[in-house]
Chains A and B, each alone.
Chain A
């Protein structure tokens, strides 16, 4: 059995006698006897490190690890430079708590300040927080940020990631905010519906760029419609795309959020990922979660602190607009290291290659009877129809060790959402085409 308790029998006795107790059980004497668990826990016996490694490696071995992926749909496999893992594996970073004691937390605080700066740069916004749980929660929190006494309605596009929409719906169920889903028309957000339905009670409009189907939306125009009705404009974005696609700030967004996983985090069966949130300076104080600010110490030396804390739950309690406490700090650190390692040029390459390869694959697929379902500009994801049942397509690819695009369901049954990143080589794509020709 593994144990991390260092206490020896002699030490136990010495501590007990200092307390004035005979045995450890005496320390639990105030617990009502009838409530005590009168049996041992029904757990397996403890294992040594060697045994537990075997057990866990066994579980990991039951998963199939694809070396070639053309699936995204909210989780993207990009190249992760070695330095990322090296930095986040530094014990001090991963074993520290939230940097409440600023004097001994300057390293962590500074890394968050740098992360905030990078997110502001990417999104073209004024202020960023230190992270939230993931992109879906970032979206839900952004919608909540816009709510006020007079505005209790959110217009949310149906063309966003379905899990993000579901998360927003759950948060609205909690807060009592009204949620109106803007239908999609030909794979895009229906702007006429927005023009028609937006009103004085509308707190915000939420859209995703590129949207769930990979398509670049008329983001500028939607922003104008939103602002004309004095509502806030929230954009959910892919951080990699922002090195070549217009930043939310350029499109006129008030709040930019997104899933930071593409920035150096592994797929990891869905988490931990990284929600980022940035906004205009006007909204800074409504941002949920921790924010780091620059200041000086008693000797005039530059330093960093958690700031604007009176917005947060530990001070404002029931009046706080968000309850977030723990966030995804280590993931934010990874993203910061990733962006430093890639630099603006590296990030641009990742984005350009993802986009270019997606277009190459789309072109090749079209030639063999998998045409785009909707025309329109797209970034690194796109939807094709499939002449063959998608199950059969996926099975055929799987036999070659390839995870194909994501088969859509419901009204889009029979369609496939494909994704390319810089990780996909031309050779891999040609292989896909060769396999599909045979089914």
Chain B
């Protein structure tokens, strides 16, 4: 499992990359994409939509399942990664490059984990 040092993580397996205090990219972690298997579609929110920290704001589909993706940040969807709509396999191929959305005007966030904490968390979860 790959975990990048300079990112933050959530317990629901999203990664967050802050560009500044008010702006961040959000995607799914390598661990998550492996668990979900080969993804065939992603539903993204619309630009301009407000997000609420901890609420579902997107979902990803494999052939036989659909899973919610939770937004770790309260803010506004600035940009969505339209490339994913045509090529959801990018999430499997390079999860940390395949950002879902850019959140702007961030006012709140869920509990975020550091790379090290996330690694520990996943380890514990898989052991269980």
User: Interface residues, chain A, CB within 8 Å of chain B?
Assistant: 285, 308-310, 315-316, 319
Binary interface encoding of chain B residues 36-53 relative to chain A, with 1 for a CB under 8 A from any of its CBs, else 0: 000011000000000000
Tell me whether B41 and A319 are in contact (CB under 8 A).
no
B65's contact among A285, A308, A310, A319, by CB below 8 Å, is which?
A310
Least Cβ–Cβ distance between B40 and chain A, in angstroms: 7
Residues of B within 8 A of A310 (CB): 40-41, 61-66
Least Cβ–Cβ distance between A371 and chain B, in angstroms: 53
Taking CB as reference atom, which chain B residue is nearest A310? B61
Complex: how many Å from CA A316 to CA B65? Answer: 8
What are 17 A-B pairs at a CB distance below 8 A? A285-B41, A308-B41, A309-B63, A309-B64, A310-B40, A310-B41, A310-B61, A310-B62, A310-B63, A310-B64, A310-B65, A310-B66, A315-B64, A315-B65, A315-B66, A316-B66, A319-B66
Residues of B within 8 A of A309 (CB): 63-64
Complex: how many Å from CA A309 to CA B41? Answer: 11
Interface size, chain B (Cβ < 8 Å)? 8
Taking CB as reference atom, which chain A residue is nearest B39? A310
Interface residues of B in 8-44 (CB under 8 A from A): 40-41
Least Cβ–Cβ distance between A312 and chain B, in angstroms: 10
Complex: how many Å from CA A315 to CA B61? Answer: 10
Could you list 11 further interchain pairs (A-B, Cβ under 8 angstroms) beyond the known A309-B63, A309-B64, A310-B61?
A285-B41, A310-B40, A310-B41, A310-B62, A310-B63, A310-B64, A310-B65, A310-B66, A315-B65, A315-B66, A316-B66
Taking CB as reference atom, which chain A residue is nearest B49? A149
Closest 9 CB pairs of A and B: A310-B61, A310-B66, A316-B66, A315-B66, A315-B65, A315-B64, A310-B41, A309-B63, A310-B65
Residues of A within 8 A of B41 (CB): 285, 308, 310
Taking CB as reference atom, which chain A residue is nearest B67? A310
Least Cβ–Cβ distance between A317 and chain B, in angstroms: 9
Complex: how many Å from CA A173 to CA B66? Answer: 28
Complex: how many Å from CA A212 to CA B83? Answer: 44
Complex: how many Å from CA A316 to CA B64? Answer: 10
Residues of B within 8 A of A316 (CB): 66
Least Cβ–Cβ distance between A84 and chain B, in angstroms: 34
Least Cβ–Cβ distance between B128 and chain A, in angstroms: 26
Residues of B within 8 A of A308 (CB): 41
